[in-house]
Structure 1
Amino acid sequence: MADQEEDFSHLPITDRAVHKNWKVRKAAFEEATKAFTNSPDEDAECFRDWLHDLGLWKKVAMDSNVAAQLDGLTALCAFLQYGGYNACVRTRQNTISGIVEKGLTSAKAGTKEKSVEAILLYIELDTPGPVLEELMPFLTHKMAKVIAATVNVLGRIYGAYGAKIVDPKPVLKMLPKLFGSADKNVRAETTTLTVELYKWLKDGMKPFFFEELKPAQQKDLETEFAKVKDEKPKQARLLRSQQAQAEEAEATGEAEEEAPEEEAAEEDDGGMDAYDLVDPVDVLAKMPANFGDMIASTKWKDRKDTLDELFKVVNTPKIQNANYDELIRAFAKSMKDANVAVVTVASQCNEALAKGLREQYAKYRSQIMAPTLERLKEKKQSVTDALGASLDAIFASCGLSDILEETLEFLKHKNPNVKLETCKFLVRCLRTTKVPPSKAEAKAIADGTSKLLGDTSAPVRDSSAEALGTLMKIIGERAMNPYLESLDEIRKTKIKEFFATAVVKAKEKPAAPPPPKAAPKGPPKKLGGKAPAGRGGPVKKAPAAPQEHSLEEPAPPKAAPKKAVPGKIGSGLRLTRKPAAAAPPPSAPSPTFEDEPPAAPPKGRSLVRPQAAQPPPPPPEPVSYNYGLAAAEKAELEELRHMKEVWISQIDQLTASKNALNKEVTELRIQNSSLIDENTHNTLAIRAKEAQLVRSRADAESAQGALEKLQREVDRLKRELARSVRPASPTDSVHDQISSLNGSSQYNSMGRNSKRLSFQSQMSMEDANGNLGLPSRDRMVSPGPRSPGAGSNFGDNGGRNSPAPGTSRNSTATDSSVENWRRAAEVTSALKQRIEQMKRQNFGKAGGYGASRGQ
């Protein structure tokens, strides 16, 4: 046995690591761990043999002996920790699968812990992405214990590095399938992983998987979420790149300065947003094909339905940036729709689009904001809520400065509901903005809302007081005092109540005081290597040619002193020498000149020496920096100052021009929007007229067809009438006429009291030519026996037509015959006229009937 051990020690360490004897393997792993730990650097000789065979570490991680496996994983962790980046990237792809299959599923706790440590080191040395790619296939493994072990190590990864370093999207997509596993251990580990992710992502992770879970699972997760809702997770382990940055910052002394900023960022961080987790959606590709036609429909139901379909498309966390001018114009037009349901859905669509685009939506603000604010006149709460949410999304995409001008303009609206809702919108903006308003903006807000404190509507007054209180919370009480001086105590009290309860995210930071300047420790340095005169002391001599002086080699002064030495401070301020007895003011520094060394101290010098020894108070700005300048340098300095003033004036002019151009652009955009609306209205009117014309043409064609049909019917009736109407014989006509006139007043006058004799009986005979068969003269006048009391054929009862006494019967008969003939002729003429009239009437009726049918 001893011989064998001696033989093993002579084998290379990589051969011993895969030896069939587990003790040999175990000893090789222990030796490797010691060598890695004692290595001087990452390029040491002990790492080279292990990097030569890339599949060696997989065999180590999957060792069949649990003791050897534990030592092998310990050696792997030391190899990664001391081998660095090169050891990580060259062995990662071949090793992680073996660690998961045999290391994470081991029954020995130490082996599991070393397996997890090895995976964490693979992430620490490089990036998490490649490790996640190796781990994700094991979430669909056929063995439940492998899935549970993989989920567990994923939870450890996110707990160590956080969801900001390790991408959570691949894991979030797998959560529904993991929660649906039949193995309880998998579900339990998945719950732990989900809670760990919730610490970092908060509610932003729910859209990825929460709706696909069972109600019981949702309830259990909500309970677990509530326990960690207020926790603020921190990254437990740093990547090597982060460690290097921290060391560099610590070396330069920036760590202490950056620490407060990091803490502030952590306080503001409420979890990762779903916007950063999802991929953008191409909304234009999924829009309804007939959106333009349906949104311009005259039926409100069509407009609402197409907006409902659009809302399903745009209601997504992240939208791909594109040209959405058509949609914005449609939304702006829908704000003016007469149907409130269309207005509500359009507001919801605009809100979803603004949330999906975020900062990229800001360029559409000018087109949609004014129509939305104008529509706030609606009193229905559901409509105003939808409009308010749309305005909040618009504000979130740009900022307070961009929406302030239009918002303050609508505070002057004549509709009280518009003023109220606009003021509420302004309050929400002040609460959520992270950038405090500038002094000019604060003044505009204070002035605009202060005017509403005297409004006739109580809700408007309360909203304006709340706006002023919120503004006071941002800029402070001191900055707000000038705007409250003119208000009465009741209104001030109301504003201060809102100030006490307001919660804002932006606060005006006090200006940092200027750093204190260190007092001079001794007398000021001499200029040109010579000591200056004491403070307040006389200046003995001034240089004759100061333009030739320099800081390196000062020119020697001449003997002749000057009475006054002018100097410039700033622009235009000149200093002259003062008598020695007069002390300069404490705020003005004493001028410093070059003087030759005094041969003997002048009188009174001992009196001013203590003053020179005292450190003067630090002035706000040193004013003696010009005294050693040459005349050319001073002239150049004055020229530079003049140029600076010119540039400042030019900048002011350009700024004013820019503001005017921006205002003009805004007006042009408004005009363009109105022209587009007018064009759309005219187009719709033209289409309506065209539709009406088409319907009229169709009606005319149908009427023409009906007319032709009726005309054919009239022609047919005329033909039938012509066949049915035939000229009747005279005898028939006479008989018909006589029978119709029988009993009329014309014939009732004859023999009214006697027995009537019908004309029909007298004219019952027709001759061969068809003439009326009237009684002959002979028949009428021939005598014959007559019955007593009987009168003539045309006589009346009572014998009124009987011959008078004294006349013969012949004369009486003749007269009666003539009268009868005359009467018969009149009756015949009347009958003929009556027949003609009847014919005309019959033909007239037939013609009228045809005309009426023709119409």
Structure 2
Amino acid sequence: MAEAEEDFSALPLPDRFQHKNWKVRKGGYEDAVKQFEVTPDEHDPAFKPFIQDSGSLWKGAAADSNVAAQQDGVAALCAFLKFGGRECSTRTRGNVVSSLAEKGLSSTRAATKASSLEGILLYVELDTAGPVIEELLPSLGNKQPKVVAATLAALTAIFHNFGCKTADPKPVLKILPKAFGHADKNVRAEATNLTLEFYRWLRDAMKPMFWGELKPTQQTDLEAQFEKLKAEPAPKQERFLRSQQAAMARAPPPGADAGPEEEEEEEEVVEVDVFDLAEPQDVLSKVSPDFSDQLASSKWKERKEACEALFKILDVPRIKDGDYGEVTRGLAKCMKDANVAVVTTAANCIEVLAKGLRKPFGKYRSTIMGPVLERLKEKKVAVSDALGAALDQVFMATSLGDCLEEILECLKHKNPQVKEGTMKFLIRSLKTTREAPAKPEVASIAEAGKKLLSESSEGLRSGGAEVLGTLMKIMGERAMGPHLEGLDEIRKTKIKEFFDAAEVKAKDKPKPVPQAAPPKAAAAPAAARKVVAKKPAAAKKAPAPPSIYAQQPQAALEPQPTARGVSKLGPKPGLKAPIKRTLAGPGGAPAPNLASPRRPLSQAPAPMEEEVIPAPRIGLGGRGLAGRPLGKPAPAPRMDSPSPPPSSGFSALEKAELDELRLDKDRLLRNCDDLRQERSRLNSEVQELRNQNAQLIEDHTRDMLSIKAKETQLVRARSEAEAADAMCAQLRREMERLKRALTAAERAGSGPVSPGGMGERSVSGGSDEAGIYRDTGMYGQESRRTPGFGGRGGYGEEKENGNGYESPGAGMRKLRSPDLLSRGLSRTGSTSSGRSPAREAYRGGREASNPSPAPGDGQPVESWKRAAEVTSALKAKIEQMKARQGISRP
């Protein structure tokens, strides 16, 4: 039996991991732990067999059928991940994480559970949390409730250790309603624990993702537990990824001023809003195609309903980017609406649109912001609050620099309401901005605030002091000192009060020291480079005999440009020799006395060089100026062969090098100036293009409004034309009817009248002729003023004789009706002459009344007689009617 065990221990670890005997597997797991612990680094060959296997070995170890072997197998996996590094995690997690969740977390042994959870956390630590969470989510659909509960507990541990900033909570938030609806109470309890952990990190920002799908009782229970967590401090990340650990190790040690920055970073980790968690939704396709036409309606209710429908569509946590130009132009137009309800609803739409789009909303800011600021003149609180909320969201989607120009322009507005609302918006913007304004912007804001201090309204003066105080809180008292010069002490005291009470999120952090550090850091390596390059040459030349110059002519001592400081033997191995600027004798012979290492130009004192210039350098053992004590006289025996002062050669070379460096510097400065000019030109072009774009948008808006107005006028003109056509058709039908009646009347009156038949026919004919005389176009007014025919019931009696009794008013209406007129026209005279029959009859009556009629003309006499008969008959009828109705004579 012992021999068999020795044979098993001799097997490779992968074979022992897959052995049928659980004891062999258990021994293999234990030996693997020992082997991983002694590896020097993560690239050790001991990890290769398990990495190349892609996790099948570890999947079997995590799900071992023997509980004792499984415990050691999960422990071996933890050691493999701990010492193996990132590659061990990425190559094996696809097969191992699900086994740990289904077999390890639900094990009956506490040690196996703890090791399984540690293995999952190691998988997260070595890489990222996203892939591990994706591998765990399928286990939430397992049939066994204990597996689901254990998986939820593992997810809770991941978010508890790494936080919601490192681990994305969105995939897990989506499945929470399903976990709360599980039949097992342990699963629901773990879901509650996970929700409470989310609330510690996200607060109310997590609710839109799943809250509406929970039961009311579950919401009530969770709200009660949320109240207990509100008093707890903000959570902190307890465990860090390997990448985060490496970044923290590379970071400099925390100094005195590093504390606040770290606190700010921790606060930013906690600040997670709904926008970061929500998925973008496409709302543009849901907007009504005739939205612009609805906003152009003449009825304010229709305009309001269009804005309300748009608000329901846009009221989502996150909006997918798209072309919202038409929508924003319509909402900007609504800012000029006469109805405040439409303005309020449109402002709400602007708020949710900016809140849902965030950064992409910046391209619509110029369209929206101006009209909203102009509408601040409204005195109603509800309208001003809605406009203020819309402006705040527009600012959150952009920045202070983008909005500052329009804000400062509206601070000069003539309307005090607009000025006050803009001032409040500026104060809110300064308090919420996270970026400190630039110096030109600070000057503009300070100038506007000082102008507000001289306003007649107390609210504006106080607001100006608050603007300056808030700006001082951002920039600091020292930076704001020059801007407050000239103000009296009372105003400065007021500004200081607002400065003490202001709470801002941005802080101006000037960094003058890092700007001066790079030149020093660059100078030090240059100096070191020069010294290191020359020291080997000096070491080679030190043993050279000093009497070498006694055997050479005077011309040999003159400097000639060759390789500087490099002996004939070459430089020291391993160092690269300089190429140019060296001193050598004729024939390339090096000058050993000039090989002393030269200090950098910035370190060599000028007076010291002047003192040692006359001293010869022969017999100094190659030390040079830097190699002997200051003030030491040169040896006298070497005066017979004087050499030129070495400092002149070095200074010339140094000057040449310095001139070259200066030329490089000038060239760099010119390049920088060119780049600045190019940048300024590009900025001016960008600003010009922005102005052109804004002008084009304004022109387009104006053209659209003009088109809408023309369309409205066209619709009205069409309706009027249709009404005129209908009236013309009606008049045409009436004309045809009158013609037909005239024709019938002519046929009826064409027969001769008997001389003695002056009964009802004569009366009727007389009444018709009388109607002709008084109701024709030219003499209508005269007929109405005639008592005999315009009086009460003038023709009622005629009608009574002919067709029964009618009232006097009815008789007059009948007299003036078109049919009676046509009959009168037909009976008065012939129309063949082309003149009006009524005018001919009237002319005949006048001629009949003339005392001197023309001889031989009997027609006027006959007409006069007929008119007299008709008049008498009418008078008789009128008297009868009056008698019958009991009307007495006046």
For 2:726, the equivalent position in structure 1 comes to 702
CA deviation vs aligned residue, 1:149-208 (integer Å, no higher than 9, x gap): 111111112222332332222101111222222322222211211222233333332221
Question: Residues 61 and 102 of structure 1 are in contact (CA less than 8 Å); yes or no, is this contact kept in structure 2?
Answer: yes
Whether 2:237 is the aligned partner of 1:235: answer yes
**Residue 655 of structure 1: CA displacement?**
6.5
Q: CA deviation at 1:88?
A: 4.0
The one of 613, 621, 642 equivalent to 1:596 is 613
**Cα shift readout 1:4-26 (whole Å, capped 9, x = no counterpart):** 87897788876776777665654
1:417-450 deviation line (CA, Å, top 9, x unaligned): 1111111111112112222223332222111111
Residue identity opposite 2:237 in structure 1:
Q
What TM-score, normalized to structure 1? 0.69
Structure 1 segment 494-509 matched on structure 2, within 5 A = 494-509=494-509
What's the secondary structure of 2:758's corresponding residue? helix
Q: How do 1:453-468 and structure 2 match up within 5 A?
A: 453-468=453-468
After TM superposition, give the deviation of residue 646 of structure 1 in Å: 6.3
Q: CA deviation at 1:224?
A: 3.6
Q: CA deviation at 1:640?
A: 6.4
- 729, 743, 748: which is aligned to 2:754? 729
Aligned-pair distance for 1:413? Answer: 0.8
Letter in 1 for 2:734: L
Give how far 1:89 is off: 4.5
Match of 1:94 in 2: 95
Distance across 1 between alignment mates of 2:400 and 2:50: 64
Q: Where do 1:129-168 residues align within 5 Å? A: 129-168=130-169
How far apart are 1:409 and its partner, in Å?
1.7
Counterpart in 1 of 2:174? 173
Q: 1:224 to 1:590 in 2, by over 3 A?
A: farther
Aligned match of 2:114: 113
Q: Counterpart of 1:698 in structure 2: which amino acid?
A: E
Residue 413 of structure 2 contacts residue 419 of structure 2 at CA under 8 Å; is this kept in 1? Answer: yes
Tell me whether 1:404 sits opposite 2:397 in the alignment: no
Deviations 1:734-789 (A, max 9, x none): 89999xxxxxxxxxxxxxxxxxxxxxxxxxxxxxxxxxxxxxxxxxxxxxxxxxxx
- CA separation in 1, counterparts of 2:335 and 2:872? 71
Following superposition, the deviation at residue 330 of structure 1 comes to: 2.4
**One-letter code aligned to 1:188:** A
**How much does 1:388 deviate?**
1.9
- Code of the aligned partner of 2:239: R
| Equivalent in the alignment of 1:788 | none
Aligned partner of 2:701 among 669, 677, 681:
677
Tell me the equivalent position of 1:490: 490
1:34: how far off?
3.9
Cα distance per residue 1:518-539 (max 9 Å; x no partner): 9x9xxxx99x999xxxxxxxxx
Residue 293 (structure 1) aligns with: 293
Mapped to 2, the partners of 1:704 and 1:737 lie a distance apart of 38
Q: In structure 1, what is the Cα distance between the partners aligned to 2:511 and 2:561?
A: 44
Contact 1:473 1:502 (C-alpha < 8 Å) held by counterparts: yes
For 2:350 and 2:12, the matched residues in 1 are separated by: 71
Counterpart AA for 1:235: Q
The two structures have a TM-score, normalised by structure 2, of 0.66
Change (3 A) 1:308 1:335: same
Aligned pairs (5 A) from 1:773-812: none
Please give the alpha-carbon distance, in whole angstroms, between the structure 2 residues aligned to 1:377 and 1:150: 58
SS at match of 1:280: coil
- SS class of match (2:387): helix
Contact 2:408 2:445 in 1 (8 A): yes
**Aligned equivalent of 2:712, options 688, 692, 700:** 688
Are the equivalent residues in 1 in contact too, given 2:295–2:306 (CA < 8 A)? Answer: yes
Partners of 2:564 and 2:11 in 1: how far apart? Answer: 78
Return the offset for 1:221.
2.9
Q: List aligned pairs for 1:294-693, cutoff 5 A.
A: 294-509=294-509, 511-512=511-512, 593=610, 595-598=612-615, 661=685, 664-693=688-717
For structure 1, which segment, 73-82 or 330-339, has the greater mean C-alpha deviation from structure 2 after superposition?
73-82
More off after superposition, 417-426 vs 656-665: 656-665
Q: Which moved more, 1:314-323 or 1:378-387?
A: 314-323
Q: What is the alpha-carbon distance in structure 1 between the residues aligned to residue 55 and residue 122 of structure 2? A: 17
CA distance in 2, matches of 1:637, 1:517: 16
Q: Which amino acid aligns with 2:175?
A: M
Q: Judging changes above 3 Å, is the alpha-carbon distance between structure 1 residues 102 and 510 closer, same or farther for their aligned structure 2 residues?
A: closer
Aligned equivalents of 1:317, 1:388: Cα separation in 2: 20
Deviation at 1:384, TM superposition (A): 1.8
Whether the aligned pair in 1 keeps the contact of 2:165 and 2:269 (CA below 8 Å) is no
Q: 1:164 to 1:258 in 2, by over 3 A?
A: farther
User: CA separation of 1:720/1:636 partners in 2, compared to 1, >3 Å: closer, same or farther?
Assistant: same
Structure 1, 170-179 or 429-438: larger mean CA deviation: 429-438
Residues 225 and 737 (structure 1), Cα distance of their counterparts in 2 relative to 1, 3 Å cut:
closer
Q: Which residue of 2 aligns with 1:834?
A: 865
Corresponding residue number in structure 1 for 2:189: 188
Distance 1:12 1:627 in 2: 73
Query: How far apart are 1:495 and its partner, in Å?
Result: 1.4
Give the direction of change, closer, same or farther, for the CA distance of 1:375–1:185 in structure 2 (3 Å limit).
same
Residue type of the alignment partner of 1:730 = P
Residue 555 and residue 65 in structure 1: after superposition, are their counterparts in 2 closer, same or farther (change >3 A)?
closer
Quick one: which amino acid aligns to residue 270 of structure 1?
V
Question: Equivalent residue for 2:71?
Answer: 70
Q: 1:591 to 1:733 in 2, by over 3 A?
A: farther
- Worse-superposed segment, 699-708 or 89-98: 89-98
- Give the CA deviation at 1:370: 2.0
1:208 aligns with 2:213: no
Residue of structure 2 in register with 1:768 after alignment? none
Aligned amino acid, residue 729 of structure 1: S
**Could you tell me how far apart the structure 2 residues matched to 1:300 and 1:840 are?**
65
Shift of 1:630: 6.0
Letter of the 1:413 partner, please give it.
Answer: H
Give the deviation of 1:281 after TM superposition: 2.9
Pair 454,591 (structure 1): closer, same or farther in 2 beyond 3 Å? farther
Shift of residue 111, structure 1, vs aligned partner: 2.3
In our comparison, the structure showing a higher alpha carbon Rg is 1
Q: Structure 1 residues 653 and 737, CA, compared in 2 at 3 Å: closer, same or farther?
A: closer
Extract unaligned runs of 5+ from structure 2: 525-529, 539-556, 566-581, 586-600, 618-628, 632-649, 764-859, 874-890
Instruction: Return the structure number with greater helix share.
Output: 2
Aligned partners of 1:21 and 1:134: how far apart in 2? 30
Pair 1:629–1:496, CA change in 2 (3 A): farther
Q: Is 1:202–1:271's contact at 8 Å kept on the other side of the alignment?
A: no
- Cα deviation for residue 453 of structure 1 reads 1.2
CA contact (8 A) 1:547 1:632 kept: no
- Is contact 1:592–1:627 with CA below 8 Å preserved after alignment? no
Indicate conservation of the 8 Å contact 1:26/1:68, yes or no.
yes
Q: Report the CA distance shift for 1:156/1:270 in structure 2 as closer, same or farther (over 3 A).
A: closer
Q: Distance in 2 between matches of 1:648 and 1:11?
A: 69
Shift of the 434–46 alpha-carbon distance from structure 1 to 2, 3 Å rule, reads: closer
Mind listing any 5+ residue stretches in structure 1 that lack a counterpart? 531-543, 557-568, 571-587, 601-609, 613-625, 739-828, 843-855
SS of 2:453 mapped into structure 1: helix
1:361-400 CA-partner distances (Å, limit 9, x unpaired): 3333333322222121111222222222222223223322
| Aligned residue number for residue 741 of structure 1 | none
Query: 1:639, 1:24 → 2: CA distance?
Result: 77
Tell me the CA shift for residue 550 of structure 1.
11
Identity across the alignment (%): 46
Aligned-pair CA distance for 1:474: 1.8
Distance 1:21 1:648, change over 3 A: closer
C-alpha distance in 2, partners of 1:698/1:836? 47
